[in-house]
Structure 1
Amino acid sequence: MTRTVKCPDCQANEPEDTVGCINIPIDAEPGEIIECPECGAEVEILSTNPIVVNLLEEEK
């Protein structure tokens, strides 16, 4: 079973009706890194109840 959260990167750059969703596994732990299947952005899970994620910025 999985839960979903809207991708913060897609949400910032795309119209709301096309925002990508990231599947969060039910056994996910805070600190895990998950990738958005739509845009490839990586997010860190900060909390699982409620689900809170943080967009990881790319190093330049």
Structure 2
Amino acid sequence: MAMELCPSCRGQVVVDGSARASEIVECPECGSVLELVSTNPFALALAPDVAEDWGE
């Protein structure tokens, strides 16, 4: 387990030690959807919005 800071609200987010890059987690304080961008060291960023591709 690792504690990281939410890039949005600076609240503490618990990240499982076995998490892999690109996993999605949610901040328990502000509800922001976050992406684990690095595992060594752990780093979080706001997850990109998923856009509809309309079958393209």
Q: CA deviation at 1:56?
A: 2.1
Task: Note the residue ranges of structure 1 that are not aligned, 5 or more in a row.
Answer: 12-19
Q: Percent identity?
A: 38
Alignment-mate amino acid for residue 9 of structure 1: S
Unaligned runs of 5+ in 2: 51-56
1:3-51 Cα distance to aligned partner (Å, 9 max, x none): 011101103xxxxxxxx10000010000100000000001100111111
- After superposing on structure 2, the runs of 4+ consecutive aligned residues of structure 1 that deviate more than 4 Å are none
* Larger-Rg structure: 2
Aligned residues: 50
User: Greater helix percent: which structure?
Assistant: 1
TM-score (norm 2): 0.79
TM-score (normalised: structure 1): 0.74
